[in-house]
Amino acid sequence: MAPLHKKSKPKKKTKKFKKHKQVSLVPVEPRTSETDWWDSFWHKNSTAPGYSVPGDEAEGFKYFFRVSKATFEYICSLVREDLISRPPSGLINIEGRLLSVEKQVAIALRRLASGESQVSVGAAFGVGQSTVSQVTWRFIEALEERAKHHLNWPDFNRMQEIRQGFEASFGLPNCCGAIDATHIMMTLPAVQTSDDWCDQEKNYSMLLQGIVDHEMRFIDIMTGFPGGMSFSRMLKCSAFYRLSENGERLNGNVKTLGGDVMREYVVGGCCYPLLPWLMTPYETNGANGVSVSQSSFNHNHGAAKLLAVKAFSLLKGSWRILSKVMWRPDKRKLPSIILTCCLLHNIILDCGDTLQPDVALSGHHDSGYQEQCCKQVDPLGRTMRDNLAKHLQQECN
């Protein structure tokens, strides 16, 4: 009986699907009316209380959606096919037409950029809460699939540009990136709370680890881990750690400076272990302090590492959904939201777009959190750091 039952089930689904396809041919808003949504939105929201909207309409567009109109059109081109071919159910507006792709993208971007409730975002566009929810998630699914090429590990030529950029700006030869991590805070239902998700500051959070290049573009991220995990432990759970330890990443050309061999590496704070491919600063609270060369290294290292701090401040400031406390998010879906925001961050840079100077968080991206400290030191990492410190001192003389 069971096999027969399984056979009859798909048959019913197929019939329903075909019937749905026949009766759901609601016309998508034509491209000739694609600016209508913006005219209506601008008229309704440009003078709304609580906003400091620039008077210039182009800057106002960027204020609400974080991207220029040109970048917005590019994002629409990435997801258009998905949003047209498989539109979420129930997205009929008052004229009886499906929401245009442009309006769907605008709703999703506004939700991610403002972090406002679905009710507030829906009111700004004249749609309901459920529509905002469906549109936002459908956009996230589409961009996650269609924009993968905007966040990947650099090829040989691009890595050469990154190394040159770090050396030119910070004097660090063969540096390939800066690593940091941040907490995405949330509330959880009582049945889902646990010590794993409760971090050192007694907040429930999910961690995001990111590596950025010399232009603050994310070249590697990992998320989904509970906030109670230390940054060093999260690093060791990442594919980046495994690949680097196995010589499959940060394995490009070595440099020989003054007889010392320097391999590729990234820079990170004291919360990370000192490894041959991960340079951390010298401790400054020892009895003898630090030498001149060590102090010089810490200065240059800190300036380079600050790129990751700034990138996270821009990320969470631009896409405020990440900087606010999320109300009972689905922990299985939250990593996709985080990834989408990182993709949008990179798309802005790749399109040559610029952000308004005041979007970045004014303080640290993890305001109120004390920096963790990892005591693990690899002897080869110590030698590598000493060689870099010696090289920087020679460059200064």
Which of 80-89, 140-149, 199-208, 364-373 shows the lowest per-residue confidence on average (mean pLDDT)? 80-89
Does 29 fall in a domain? no
Q: What is the pLDDT of residue 1?
A: 38
Kind and range of the H or E run holding 1: none
Q: What is the pLDDT of residues 347-362, one digit of tens each?
A: 999 999 987 767 888 8
The two structure tokens encoding residue 169: 């700006």
137 and 183 both lie in a single domain = no
CB–CB of 71/348 below 8 Å?
yes
Asked if 143 and 155 sit in the same domain, the reply is no
Interval 26-68: pLDDT, tens: 444 444 344 589 999 999 999 888 888 888 999 999 999 999 9
Residue with tokens 């798309």: 347
Domain assignment of residue 331, yes or no: yes
pLDDT band at 372 (very low <50, low <70, confident <90, very high): confident
Tell me the C-alpha distance between 206 and 208, whole Å: 7
- Would you state the pLDDT for residue 290? 81
390: exposed, middle or buried (C-beta count within 10 Å: 0-12, 13-18, 19+)? middle
For residue 325, give the nearest of 133, 140, 184, 182 by alpha carbon.
184
My answer on whether 305 and 214 are in the same domain is yes
In a domain, 317, yes or no: yes
Q: What percent of the chain has pLDDT over 70?
A: 86
Q: Is 1 exposed, middle or buried (0-12, 13-18, 19+ CB in 10 A)?
A: exposed
Task: List, in order, residues 6 or more apart from 231 with CB less than 8 Å away.
Answer: 181, 207, 209, 271, 272, 372, 374
Give yes or no for residue 271 having a pLDDT over 50: yes
- Structural domain contains residue 248: yes
- Do 112 and 136 form a contact (C-beta atoms < 8 A)? yes
What pLDDT shows up at residue 16? 38
pLDDT at position 4 is 40
What per-residue confidence (pLDDT) applies to 367?
A: 86
The answer to which of 185-194, 264-273, 289-298 has the lowest mean pLDDT is 185-194
Number of domains comprising the chain? 2
Residues 195 and 300 in one domain: yes
The per-residue pLDDT for range 156-176, each reduced to its tens digit, is 999 999 999 999 999 999 999
Strand-pair partners of 274 = 377
Q: Could you tell me if residue 44 is inside a domain?
A: no
Does residue 132 fall inside a structural domain? yes
Q: Which of 127, 149, 171 is the last residue of a domain?
A: 149
Which residue has 């990892």 as its token pair?
374
- Is residue 337 predicted with pLDDT exceeding 70? yes
Domain boundary among 149, 178, 199: 149
Q: Quick one: pLDDT band at residue 22, thresholds 50, 70, 90? A: very low
Q: CA angle at residue 92 from 327 to 128, to 5 degrees?
A: 30
Among candidate residues 149, 178, 209, the one where a domain is terminated: 149
Regarding predicted confidence, which is higher, 226 or 23? 226
Closest CA to 203 of 192, 189, 188, 190: 188
375 lies in the same domain as 308: yes
What count of Cα atoms within 13 Å lies in the side-chain half-sphere of residue 378?
A: 14
Q: Judge whether 107 lies within some domain.
A: yes
Quick one: average pLDDT of 271-299?
89
283 DSSP 8-state letter: P
Q: Are residues 354 and 244 in the same domain?
A: yes
CA angle 370, 375, 377 (to 5 degrees): 140
Provide the residue range defining the domain that includes 62.
56-149
**64 and 185, same domain (yes or no):** no
What average pLDDT does range 138-154 have in this prediction? 97
Res 26: pLDDT: 40
Q: Taking residues 305-329, what's their average pLDDT? A: 92
Residue 314 sits in the same domain as residue 297: yes
> DSSP assignment, residue 177?
E
Q: Are 38 and 61 in contact (CB under 8 A)?
A: yes
For residues 135 and 251, membership in a common domain is answered with no
Q: Is-above-0.75 flag for pTM?
A: yes
Stronger pLDDT, 190 or 388, i.e. the higher one:
388
- Please state whether beta strands 218-226 and 204-212 pair in parallel, antiparallel, or not at all (unpaired): antiparallel
Looking at residues 229-246, what average pLDDT do you find? 97
Which has more confidence, 366 or 24?
366
pLDDT at res. 182: 96
- Count CA within 13 A, CB hemisphere, residue 236: 11
Does 183 fall in a domain? yes
User: Which pLDDT band, with edges at 50, 70 and 90, does 284 fall under?
Assistant: confident
Cβ density class 305-317: b for 16+ within 10 Å, e for less:
bebbbbbbbbbbb
Same domain, 162 and 255: yes
Same-domain pairing of 171 and 246: yes
Same domain, 287 and 235: yes
- Specify the pLDDT at position 25: 37
Give yes or no for a contact between 154 and 213, defined as CB atoms under 8 angstroms apart. Answer: yes
Those residues with Cβ within 8 angstroms of residue 342's Cβ, 6 or more apart along the chain or in another chain: 151, 208, 210, 218, 221, 315
Beta strands in the chain (DSSP E): 175-187, 204-212, 218-226, 255-257, 260-262, 265-267, 278-279, 326-327
User: What is the four-CA torsion angle of 70, 71, 77, 79, rounded to 10 degrees?
Assistant: -150
pLDDT digits (tens, 9 = 90+) for 99-121: 899 999 999 999 999 999 999 99
Closest CA to 385 of 252, 321, 290, 249: 290
Are 257 and 391 in contact, with CB atoms under 8 Å apart? Answer: yes
